[in-house]
Amino acid sequence: MFKLQTDRFSWLSDEDSRQLRETNDKLIRYNEDLDSIRDRAAVAQEQLSGKLSEQLNSRMYVLSLAAAIFLPLSFLTGLLGINVGGIPGAEDESAFWFFLLILAAAVIIQIIIFKNKKWL
């Protein structure tokens, strides 16, 4: 296209040369517009990716806290839920309520520790 603009050809009139220059200028502007749009799309994609990453991090944080609270409780209930003889308090009716009290105390202590460490 540049060669057609700069070189003089006998079969190319002045009007045709002017139209070629105008067309070339339009193509250059369109190309610049496309580059600008591509850059804006890349910025928008980066912002969206950052926002999604923040959401994922906050959800993973909540799941980690829930797991940290319920993991010790699951361990204790699993340990006392095995079917073997000699489990402390198996014969006592108040042992269940005492165990629930211990579990509630464990949750409260964990929440206090998490708040002191500013995790909650």
DSSP string spanning 60-115? HHHHHHHHHHHHHHHHHHHHHTS--TT-TTSS-TTHHHHHHHHHHHHHHHHHHHHH
Cα separation of 92 and 83, whole Å? 16
- Cα–Cα distances in Å, from 71 out to 15, 61, 106, 118? 82, 15, 11, 20
Q: What residue type is 105 in one-letter code?
A: A
Question: What global pTM score does this model have?
Answer: 0.60
pLDDT in tens, 62-107: 999 999 999 999 998 888 877 777 777 778 888 889 989 999 999 9
The yes-or-no verdict on residue 2 having pLDDT over 70 is no
Joined tokens for residue 83: 């079917």
pLDDT in tens, 100-115: 999 999 999 999 999 9
